[in-house]
Chain A
Amino acid sequence: MKSFFFHLMPYGHLDLSYADKHNSAWATLPNAYFDAGLGSHYYERYIRELTLADELGFDGICVNEHHQTAYGLMPAPNLIAAALTRTTKRARIAVLGRALPLVHSPVAIAEELAMLDQMSGGRVIAGFVRGVGAEYYANAINPTHSHTRFYEAHDLILQAWTKPGPFPFRGRHFEFEYVNLWPKPLQQPHPPVWLPSQGSSETVEWGAAPERKYTYLQTFSPLELARKAFDYYREVAERSGYTAQPAQLGWAVPMYVAETDEAARREARPHMEAFFTKFLRMPLEMRLPPGYSSVGSIKRMIEQRYRIRSAATTLEALMDFGMVVCGSPATVRQRLADIQQQLGVGTLIAMLQIATLPADLTEKNLRLFAAEVMPFVRGLGTDAAAKAEAVV
């Protein structure tokens, strides 16, 4: 299993008592809570942490896109990725992901990722997402077009990367008389495409289709839901006449490693709990705007996920649900071996900076993971993983 370090770049100074007055850390939380004097410090620190991961031998580092929220200070993840092309040498740079429906020019996304691919010497992984519900409030994009804009933007980007230009593109949402990319991406035919998702069956089916075979990432969800999503991916693959490989599946999870189980829990607790109860906090209407998913799946999500998420507010509950991994190196190794066995994934996306976790503990977490866990993780699921290299 490969190890990627995922950073959300949260606003770590968030006054958690905001929750007494506001029901969301997204879109409507007044930016009076953001101290302009601290921004530079955070970017400096977070880019250093991502760079350290490269030095420590992580297979990849991940940035992602969120708007108008304390949850993540990366509304333009490509800016951070560009900085990382200068500060890192070996690691894959995964942009997980660009939120395709939110933009007015998918061509700009194709261009920027092609630039990043060239600037990084072909290290870019292109993550494509629809964006969480709150983004539709923050970006004034109609959520009832979320799926159709996503598919159409995807088609346009893939064509821009692979089809000789100039050519016209005429869609329902996007129309371009001239698509003609300068530069083309370095990786041919195009950078790998990954799909981070929370388990929408439609996304799984679309990603697993034989003409795509995109790597599917399950993000921040209970182990049970992750297992269902991966099983479904493998099922769709078998139905389509091929066998899905571990390299096509990735699991993203907040993780904390310390010297002992007790120290790990003590050090991680406030930050893990703040992540799920404060940074991810938003009302149902914001999480699931109208038309964002079908009526049936919104109804299902209200029933399943929301219940679990409201129940999982303590570190112990989060660990029980498999929504976080936390413990001594030995405990974490054991847990990851067990989880890899259950999920059959080939990529571990470890979020090792969590919400308010300070710089010293983040660095310790990164170093311990890299020294004590990563070498072991590399050996998990290797037989199948080796075969998968040929596929993806």
Chain B
Amino acid sequence: MQQATIEVRGRTLRCLQAGGGPTVLYLHGFGGLAESLQQLSEGHRVLAPEHPGFGESAIPDWMMGVSDLAFFYLDLIEALDLDAIHLVGHAVGGWIAAELAIRSTARLRSLALLAPAGAVVPEVSIADVFLTSAADLVRQQVHDAHAPAAAAWIEAELAKPIEHVLQNRAALARIGWCPRLHNPQLPYWLHRIDVPTLIAWGREDRVVPFACHRPYLDNIAGAELMALPDAGHALHVERAEAVAQRLGAFHAGALR
């Protein structure tokens, strides 16, 4: 994938992009930019911006909660004049994607939520990612740390500069400290999502537990669930091929 920058209302974002064809807008998870996306790009133009406040950017004054990021990405979509978008989000990126979609699906063709944060069920909590050391959090995201893909991903994540890691955690805390990485109001508005929706989750997720799929599945009409056995939170790493295949088929079949 190629590094690029994009401008949205005076703000410059780092961005990864690749491929051509229908647009996939990918919103990254807790670890920030540079996650494994290659396999998503086949037959698509993939655009993966870095969330405001992450990496080398400062947290903007206006960014007080996840709703501000949802509106920001609606601005981004307009600024780049994207249309018929396949929106894909992982973890916190999945939460932002859902918050975006309840506000407007006008430019969306489909929505894919990969182990999204944002909604909880009474019997389980999302792991306290803030009280977990950065290194432990990376390891906690995979089910089998010895599998080659997972091991390579862990190594790459652990090599990120400490400044970026601290900044990513601060930006995540800004939107997800309290309530912890979820919005109690979100389930009440998920019914507004009227595009084909795929929910993919590792059954062994130790960060955002599998049971948290229920508010999404129960409230989004026609949503499909892809439950992956023997996969953790980093399902897009551990089950990269299966996830990419399913996404490809899902995107091909998603018509309004």
Tell me the A residues contacting B by CB distance below 8 Å. Answer: 28, 136-137, 140-144, 283-286, 289-291, 295, 298-299
Contacts and interface: CB of A to CB of B under 8 A. Distances in A.
22 contacts: A136-B177, A140-B177, A141-B177, A141-B178, A142-B177, A142-B178, A144-B170, A284-B133, A285-B130, A285-B131, A285-B133, A290-B169, A290-B170, A290-B172, A291-B169, A291-B174, A295-B163, A295-B166, A295-B167, A295-B170, A299-B162, A299-B163
Contacts of A295: 163, 166-167, 170
A290 B163 contact: no
B178 to A, nearest CB: 5
A144 B172 CA distance: 10
* Most chain A CB within a 10 A radius of its CB, from B130, B167, B172: B130
Given A142-B174, A144-B177, A295-B163, 19 more contacts: A28-B131, A137-B131, A141-B177, A141-B178, A142-B178, A143-B173, A143-B177, A285-B131, A289-B130, A289-B173, A290-B130, A290-B170, A290-B172, A290-B173, A290-B177, A291-B59, A291-B170, A295-B166, A295-B170
B177 to A, nearest CB: 4
A142 B171 CA distance: 11
A144 B174 contact: yes
Interface in B11-56: none
A295 B166 CA distance: 6
Nearest to B65: A142
B32 to A, nearest CB: 13
B166 A144 contact: no
* Most chain B CB within a 10 A radius of its CB, from A142, A144, A284, A289: A144
Closest 9 CB pairs of A and B: A291-B170, A290-B169, A290-B173, A142-B177, A290-B170, A144-B174, A295-B166, A140-B178, A291-B173
A142 B173 contact: yes
Contacts of A285: 130-133
Contacts of A28: 131
Nearest to A139: B178
Nearest to A173: B64
Contacts of B170: 144, 290-291, 295
* Most chain B CB within a 10 A radius of its CB, from A136, A142, A299: A142
A28 B163 CA distance: 27
Contacts of B133: 283-285
Interface in B129-176: 130-133, 162-163, 166-167, 169-170, 172-174
Nearest to B174: A144
Nearest to A24: B131
A172 to B, nearest CB: 9
B166 to A, nearest CB: 5
Contacts of A143: 173, 177
Contacts of B167: 295
A144 B173 contact: yes
Nearest to A145: B174
Contacts of A284: 133
Nearest to B163: A295
Contacts of B131: 28, 137, 283, 285-286
Contacts of A144: 59, 170, 173-174, 177
A290 B166 contact: yes
A298 B178 CA distance: 21
A199 to B, nearest CB: 19
A347 B69 CA distance: 48
A144 B173 CA distance: 7
A136 B173 CA distance: 11
Nearest to B176: A142
Contacts of A136: 177
B59 to A, nearest CB: 7
A170 B59 CA distance: 22
Contacts of B178: 140-142
Contact of B166 (A141, A286, A298): A298
